[in-house]
Structure 1
Amino acid sequence: MQVSLRRLVLASLVVVSALAGTAVEAKKSVDETATVAVSALPPEAQQTHRLIRNGGPFPYGKDGSVFGNRERVLPRRARGYYREYTVPTPGARNRGARRIVCGGGQPTQPEACYYSDDHYASFKLIAQ
């Protein structure tokens, strides 16, 4: 009986540790030191960045829509602060995984823009 109790405690610790690791991972935020210059972005991202600053026209209907930041990778802000834009992926038959997400009061003058090439799993701050 004592051996079974030890196994149960050990198994519980393993589960708690695994859940704690998941919780920490889910709350990761953008690494503010991970920046990318506009000139270092892929050409399609540079073009999307120009379109954002000029107010369009955008090639995809979802461009300029509110980005909810459900993954909580970007800094927390009020709903409506972030907007997302598609960065075309050559050869992709859909919108692909590349995005620019910008935040601020005016869409054409964002306070900060972030580039993701892995569909919001990670972001790099675009140096202005």
Structure 2
Amino acid sequence: MGFVTQAKDSAPRAVVSLSSLPVEAQTAQRLIHAGGPFPYSKDGIVFGNRERLLPRHPRGYYREYTVQTPGSRDRGARRIVCGGQQATAPEACYYTDDHYASFRLIAQ
């Protein structure tokens, strides 16, 4: 799973390597860096961080992307949330497989 690191203004956070994530997450991460095309119309929308599990930043800093779930009839629970000024060059990306209940920092 990875080791734990301390974020500047939040609780300890697990770190995960991209290669250890499901292949669908790896594909989504490649699409993020390429600027799309994304399979879902909601991909790239602003993520509000209402759960306050990610480091605090101004609204609009985070964007969310769907990680496809094989066999799911909807978007499922898996997402990548990236933060930064440039969508194709995020400063940090986080993976959640439980619809925002927890996040793991994706090691770059």
Whether the TM-score (by the shorter chain) exceeds 0.5 is: yes
Q: Which amino acid aligns with 1:110?
A: P
Output the aligned Cα RMSD. Answer: 0.9
Report the structure, 1 or 2, having the larger strand content.
Answer: 2
Among 32, 35, 46, which residue is 2:26 paired with? 46
- Following superposition of structure 1 onto structure 2, how do residues 18-57 of structure 1 map, counting pairs within 5 Å? 29=10, 31-32=12-13, 34-57=14-37
Q: Which runs of 5+ in 1 are unaligned?
A: 1-28
Question: Does residue 105 of the first structure (1) align with residue 85 of the second (2)?
Answer: yes
Q: Normalization by structure 1: what TM-score?
A: 0.75
Among 42, 46, 56, which residue is 1:76 paired with? 56
Relative to structure 1, the CA distance from residue 30 to residue 85 in structure 2 (aligned partners, 3 Å threshold; closer, same or farther) is farther
Q: Which runs of 5+ in 2 are unaligned?
A: 1-9
Write out per-residue CA displacement over residues 76-116 of structure 1, whole angstroms, 9 at most, x where no aligned residue: 10000000000000111100000000000000000000000
Aligned length in residues: 99
Report the structure, 1 or 2, having the larger helix content.
Answer: 1
SS of aligned partner of 1:36: strand
